[in-house]
Structure 1
Amino acid sequence: MIFENKKPAYTTDLGAMYIADSLEMLESIPDDSLNLVMTSPPFALQRKKEYGNHDQEEYIDWFMSFATLVFKKLKDDGSFVVDFGGAYMKGVPVRSVYNFRVMIRMIDEIGFHLAEDFYWFNPSKLPSPIEWVNKRKLRVKDSVNTIWWFSKTEWPKSDIKNVLVPYSDRMKKLIEDPDKFYSPKMRPSGHDISSSFGRDNGGAIPPNLLQIPNSESNGGYLSGCKKIGIKGHPARFPSKLPEFFIKMLTEPGDLVVDIFGGSNTTGSVAEQLGRKWLSFELSSEYVAASLFRFTDKNSDEETLQKIYNDVLNGKTVRLNKTSN
């Protein structure tokens, strides 16, 4: 996809990342052309973070301007998946409901449908917020993000066969010999499940609680950042998160967009899965560092520093596809 008067910071075989305002970039995209928008916007926090965020009271109006454009740009069977972190009200141990207000307004005012609500449980998340958990010990740690799967119509493209999870050991035994481990009978609800057991469907249907640790410690991105002495993006989500939704909601050749690109996890996963992608991010430093998701983690410091500087100096870097 070509944007007039805007050149990419870097390109790969299947996608491109831009240092740009997503509102401007979305305006330039043809209506009804996107298969999936997968993103994690800056959260509505009371304490300012280095990656930028808005006060909770301003946040919803700010985000709605992006959501309105996304709705126009999605295909009829397209999806908009948004990861929202939780937050507390200022100065008190009471939860904000901003993420739920966003969800309701997107349905009532824009016309989105809530295809399904997901909850990302991050078992490796540190105890937070410090004041209420560590110091006063009034609340347990906040380890779950809400992820809303919005659709433009009631029938978005989706195939859960692409995200089946391994069977438990007990289920494997049941499939091998159903009569030994299970006696078919009617449930108290009247639902007959006798025909659904003992069949190997290639895996189990996953729940809408996604347990994914955010504890990346290797790979090209952090390795590259360390080699040239810069910090990684402070609010990255793990690759398994966009991977789940890209697999379930798109097919090879579809177009995936991240409107708050950050370290470009979404783009790198889309590339690995054979999807076309676009990513937009305002911070030139974050964009330049995100290059390392597409480079060999064994690349030397000189090579990494050069392409990092090229992006900061306004040059377009051409990268080859990598499985890193």
Structure 2
Amino acid sequence: MVKGDAVKLLQSEEVVENLEGKVDLIITSPPFPLNNKKKYGNKIGEDYRNWFIGLAPVFSKLLSEKGSLVIEIGNSWEPERPVQSLLHLECLLGLVNHPTSELRLIQEFICYNPSKLPSPAQWVTVNRLRTVDSYTHVWWIAKSDFPKADNSKVLRPYSKSMKKLLEKQEYNSGKRPSEHVISGDGFLKDHGGSISHNFFELESLDEKRDVRLPHNVLSYSNTNSNDYFLKKCREKNITPHPARMNKGLIEFFIEFLTDKGDLVLDPFGGSNTTGYCAELSSRKWISFEIDDSYIKQSKIRFQDPKISPPKKVHRNDSK
């Protein structure tokens, strides 16, 4: 983990020489384009747009030809108006249309969080003019139309109905009202699970429905009480980084878009969830963070027994 301004450091001659074309996945949640300044640092308005679009040539130069860039970003609102801003869309368009880069949007994912606090508060809880802004965008971007990817590595467990169908080896095939034609054997082969969707539920939308997470993802919840990092932060009376990227998202994209030994980079590391997930999955990683306090608390993650199992003490009974 490197302390400093990632954008400046990643353009330095030494870093470019060592990393150019070698990064297999850049995954990050940059400071969101909020109207109010946060402790972790964020630009606003036109400054944010210019800063964000300026990341395109930096990231493009670092990525390998088959590498991917995954960015999570939230919505923003016009200052003092109940009107949603187009800033995040302008940022996306500016990023993929940058004249000196080769980036293109491969697919958009939506990350829905039903426990998110009512936002924007002025127009949701005070004046009650708008509904709760409860999701973030996750953009999968790459230099090639065919970046490294394998959706068979992030399969979800089959639903109960699909398991029954596989047991029976029959179903109602034929033409549907939508005019789609379902073949007679298209759903009879067991592939080990169903293909993941581009919609992530941080908590289940339906309590009666089983949560079917990809096999490599333990949880999408950022408030998991069993989380080692959060438990240790409470014990040490440390306030954790307020905008941690979701572990489940990172685990999903690391498994989906990289292989063991590949290099993963997070330019806005915060408390270094990316480094932790990369370490767990046997990927090489580099994270950057400008705030020393977040770097210090990130060390807690690497005391997790999942990464550093306690050493066994061997007794020598002959002494």
Q: TM-score, normalised by structure 2?
A: 0.84
Match of 1:19 in 2: 3
Q: Deviations over 1:58-102 (max 9, x none)?
A: 111112222321101100100000000111111111111111111
Matching residue within 138, 141, 148 for 1:147: 138
Matching residue within 161, 173, 198 for 2:188: 198
Match of 1:266 in 2: 274
Match of 1:321 in 2: 307
C-alpha change, 1:287 and 1:122, in structure 2 (3 Å) is same
Structure 2 letter corresponding to 1:199: K
C-alpha deviation, 1:123, in angstroms: 2.1
Match of 1:43 in 2: 32
**Distance (whole Å) between structure 1 residues aligned to residue 238 and residue 56 of structure 2:** 32
Contact 1:272 1:323 in 2 (8 A): no
C-alpha deviation, 1:189, in angstroms: 3.0
Match of 1:119 in 2: 110
**Distance (whole Å) between structure 2 residues aligned to residue 150 and residue 190 of structure 1:** 30
Contact 1:84 1:146 in 2 (8 A): yes
Q: Deviations over 1:116-147 (max 9, x none)?
A: 01111112212212111111211111111011
Of 217-226 and 247-256, more deviation after overlay is shown by 217-226
Of 184-193 and 115-124, more deviation after overlay is shown by 184-193
Contact 2:264 2:278 in 1 (8 A): yes
Matching residue within 53, 77, 92 for 1:88: 77
The answer to whether 1:130 aligns with 2:125 is: no
How many residues of Structure 1 are paired with residues of Structure 2 in the alignment? Answer: 284
Contact 1:251 1:275 in 2 (8 A): yes
Contact 1:99 1:146 in 2 (8 A): no
Secondary structure of the corresponding residue to residue 292 of structure 1: helix
Match of 2:241 in 1: 233
C-alpha change, 1:54 and 1:323, in structure 2 (3 Å) is farther
Match of 2:230 in 1: 222
Matching residue within 145, 154, 158 for 1:167: 158
Structure 1 letter corresponding to 2:290: L
Contact 1:220 1:294 in 2 (8 A): no
Structure 2 letter corresponding to 1:56: G
5+ long unaligned stretches in structure 2 = 203-220, 311-319
Secondary structure of the corresponding residue to residue 68 of structure 1: helix
C-alpha deviation, 1:323, in angstroms: 7.4
C-alpha deviation, 1:206, in angstroms: 1.3
**Distance (whole Å) between structure 1 residues aligned to residue 30 and residue 147 of structure 2:** 22
C-alpha deviation, 1:250, in angstroms: 0.3
**Distance (whole Å) between structure 2 residues aligned to residue 32 and residue 283 of structure 1:** 27
Contact 2:56 2:96 in 1 (8 A): no
Q: Deviations over 1:3-58 (max 9, x none)?
A: xxxxxxxxxxxxxx111221233231331110000000001111111111111221
Match of 2:200 in 1: 210
**Distance (whole Å) between structure 1 residues aligned to residue 224 and residue 295 of structure 2:** 19
**Distance (whole Å) between structure 2 residues aligned to residue 108 and residue 23 of structure 1:** 19
**Distance (whole Å) between structure 2 residues aligned to residue 49 and residue 21 of structure 1:** 17
Match of 2:174 in 1: 185
C-alpha deviation, 1:175, in angstroms: 0.9
Q: Deviations over 1:250-305 (max 9, x none)?
A: 010000000000011111011101111000000000010011111147xxxxxxxx
Matching residue within 67, 70, 78 for 2:56: 67
Secondary structure of the corresponding residue to residue 69 of structure 1: helix
Q: Deviations over 1:171-219 (max 9, x none)?
A: 110111132xx12213453544333212211111111111123323333
Structure 2 letter corresponding to 1:26: L
Secondary structure of the corresponding residue to residue 65 of structure 2: strand
Contact 1:114 1:148 in 2 (8 A): yes
Secondary structure of the corresponding residue to residue 244 of structure 1: helix
**Distance (whole Å) between structure 2 residues aligned to residue 133 and residue 296 of structure 1:** 39
Structure 2 letter corresponding to 1:259: P
Contact 1:124 1:215 in 2 (8 A): no
Higher relative contact order (CA 8 A, sep 6+): 1
Q: Indicate the RMSD between aligned Cα atoms, in angstroms.
A: 1.8
